Chains A and B, each alone.
Chain A
């Protein structure tokens, strides 16, 4: 036990666990996306890799990316081009620091929890812009600009949607928000339904998934800001995308769906069942995201912008006002 109480041993252990969890979530979610997409289109999807259900498909894909040549375009700004995927992945990994998997299983319970999440996730925008600009390619630049415009527009509803839940919980710490829901006996999705819907829409846009995938719209921009990337740098973007999907779903599950808490379970039981409950909620949200992908067509760029500024922002402000009034009156 004394070894575990050493600060540096703990830091190293936590870093190792996070470093293992991030690619693992990306593998699982990527596989889920392949399989669910396939079944929604009456296909089978990956079938042969690994022997059964094609479970090793993404591991094989990952290994393939490692072997590929690392191509850097001649006209690219080399230093910036190399740094961009690392920055994007870094901001994703940092998100995992505050996600509480059970009452005690987390890296750090920050007093600023949710605020930290929003601050860190805004950093990836810079990585995207760097990738788009440094590639020296018009498609990349357009994709980068679209991504940045989209991330700026949807950052605001994302922040404002959370404020309602924060007011209700009276704390920004993610653990505190879960405890507030446990004390209340109802997850915040019921009183904060509007906030939850706005948050989900904003998360979809932040993840640049269909129907908000204009930055990487294949039919217009090839692959947007990732066009010129290959090999393990492409793998970085891929990992960041799916790990980010997991992290943002976990945040949404924590703030609105009760996180690791489930009704009728004691604190001691939650210590062990918490991670399973949280991951189940995350998979529910991820399934929704994948379902949306095969349900909605891609929006147009101006529709996306006016939807954010004319609908989501005013609605989320309204939500804050209403929550504030209820908090003071009751």
Chain B
């Protein structure tokens, strides 16, 4: 497909706008001086990613992203930051000396990921995705063909949950033990 043909599709304009927003906000996540602002930029990044999934008609993935990442993970981030230190006002001077190394690592990651996805789907052309896969089909695949990975993930999450509780809970001191 030539570039002229590609840019003639309105959906690709939407893609360009959303993709630029995602990249811009992602950069702001790491360059922001204020930790709360960084998290809020991350919200915008994730919302943009969800929009990219919507463009691909992957509705379920998009809304899972919103529910789990924006609705739960980010809220926990904010919650944790605000409960421990909430630097209101400007210039909390959040910075890091190892910017160069981080830049190299992220550039390498970008190259690897782009190479992997290009070599896997580089020649595939998506035409008229319609409404995308119905959720029913996804659910049946998850509990049919992929039931073993699904159960394993569930088990790992349960283990993580119990581990988290064990680490976070405070054991009773000997004095309290006696009082019981």
| A is bound by B | yes
B residues near A123, Cβ cutoff 8 Å: 66, 70-71
9 A/B residue pairs, CB under 8 Å, sorted by A: A75-B89, A112-B59, A118-B67, A126-B40, A133-B78, A145-B83, A148-B75, A149-B79, A171-B136
* B134 contacts the other chain (CB 8 A): yes
Q: Shortest beta-carbon distance, B77 to chain A, in Å?
A: 10
Task: Write the A120-157 contact mask toward B (1 if CB under 8 angstroms, else 0).
Answer: 10110110011011101000010011001101100100
Report the interface size class on chain B. Answer: 20 to 34
Contact B88 A110 (CB under 8 A): no
Contact B40 A130 (CB under 8 A): yes
Task: Write the B58-76 contact mask toward A (1 if CB under 8 angstroms, else 0).
Answer: 0110011011001110111
The docked-state distance in angstroms from the alpha carbon of A171 to that of B75 is: 29
A115, A132, A149: most-surrounded residue (chain B CB, <10 A): A115
* B37 contacts the other chain (CB 8 A): yes
B residues engaging A (CB < 8 A)?
34, 36-37, 40, 43, 59-60, 63-64, 66-67, 70-72, 74-76, 78-79, 82-83, 86, 88-90, 131, 134-136
Please provide the chain A residues from 100 to 114 with a CB less than 8 Å away from any CB of chain B in the complex. Answer: 110-112
* A116 contacts the other chain (CB 8 A): yes
Contact A119 B135 (CB under 8 A): no
Closest partner residue, chain A, to B70 (CB atom)? A123
Contact B82 A129 (CB under 8 A): yes
A residues near B71, Cβ cutoff 8 Å: 119, 122-123, 125, 155
Q: Choose one: A111, A126, A136, A144; the contact of B134 (CB below 8 Å).
A: A111
A residues near B59, Cβ cutoff 8 Å: 110-112
Contact A122 B88 (CB under 8 A): no
The docked-state distance in angstroms from the alpha carbon of A111 to that of B86 is: 40
Contact A122 B67 (CB under 8 A): yes
Closest 5 CB pairs of A and B: A122-B71, A119-B67, A119-B66, A119-B63, A136-B88
Closest partner residue, chain A, to B59 (CB atom)? A112
Closest partner residue, chain B, to A80 (CB atom)? B40
